[in-house]
Amino acid sequence: MLIATWNVNSIRTRLSQIIDWMNQVKPDILCLQETKVIDDSFPFEPFEKLGYSVEVYGQKSYNGVAIISRTKAENVKKGFYDFDQNIEIFQDQKRLIAADIDGIKIINVYVPNGSSLESDKFEYKIKWLNCLASFLEEQEKKGELICLMGDFNIAPSNLDIHDPKKYQGRIMASEIERNALNNVLKERLIDSFRIFEKNTGHWSWWDYRNNAYELNKGWRIDHIYISKELSSNLKSCVIDCSPRGNLRPSDHAPVMIDLNLSNINVDFLEDEDNFFEI
């Protein structure tokens, strides 16, 4: 099973590029971030013509996430749910969608950028990540196999930045953010990419400014994390940089894993009485 994540930076602007890429790669699941469109205006038809079902959680001009899958998603939930947290501050920003697909809990996130360490947006980012950690703890209690993916707006280590000294202690590279991310992952989730590649020089995002892509000055901030129990099922994890070279591209590249699900057999809880959506 091919599972991909891609911050497309506007679904309507990049639609033809996304469809072309899907025709070439044929992912089984594609999670999108920054769709930037309300649900009723999402372009469902081109994906449905390719044989995919689509689940969306969007807003006008900002944020927005979607799960596009060959197998119809079940138990679709939008926003944080099913745990005891004060989540009212997160209601306006559409940043998380989750669903069950082929025995895996697919969780697609667009983590806030944070702007700068001194801003209110940074405080929001850390609160959001802490809420995500609590959310994942509740999923773990159910014994679910998790595939958490998306744009995390965090480089996990200095290996994930083209010039770590330049950006040390700054946004997306601070210890505060990295500690918050580690708190999300704890010992339960592992970085798919680092199972196969231990070295630096691999990026998923390049700033539009200063010829960053042409000079290969990038960051690895788009990730796919899987439950440890799935590590033996993982066949590969790659960053497909080619769409970043398109005309008017997203500033992010797709990241994709190949997961063997032939020997996975999980019984999910069917009781949804305690769930709520935002």
* 275 found inside a domain: no
Q: Is 110 a catalytic residue?
A: yes
3-class secondary structure, 276: coil
* 61 found inside a domain: yes
| pLDDT tens series, the chain, 278 aa | 999 999 999 999 999 999 999 999 999 999 999 999 999 999 999 999 999 999 999 999 999 999 999 999 999 999 987 555 557 788 889 999 999 999 999 999 999 999 999 999 999 999 999 999 999 998 888 899 999 999 999 999 999 999 999 999 999 999 999 999 999 999 899 999 999 999 999 999 999 999 999 999 999 999 999 999 999 999 999 999 999 999 999 999 999 999 998 876 544 334 444 333 33
State the pTM of this model. 0.93
Structural domains counted in the chain: 1
One of 151, 160, 222, 251 is an active-site residue; which one? 151
* 276 found inside a domain: no
**In Å, what is the CA distance from 218 to each residue of 60, 155, 180, 211, 256?**
28, 10, 22, 10, 18
Q: Is 84 a catalytic residue?
A: no
CATH of residue 192 = 3.60.10.10
* 272 found inside a domain: no
* Percent helix, percent strand, percent coil in the chain, to nearest 5: 30, 25, 45
* 97 found inside a domain: yes
One of 110, 222, 225, 251 is an active-site residue; which one? 110
Q: Which domain holds residue 15?
A: 2-259
The whole-angstrom distance between residue 60's C-alpha and the CA centroid of its chain comes to: 19
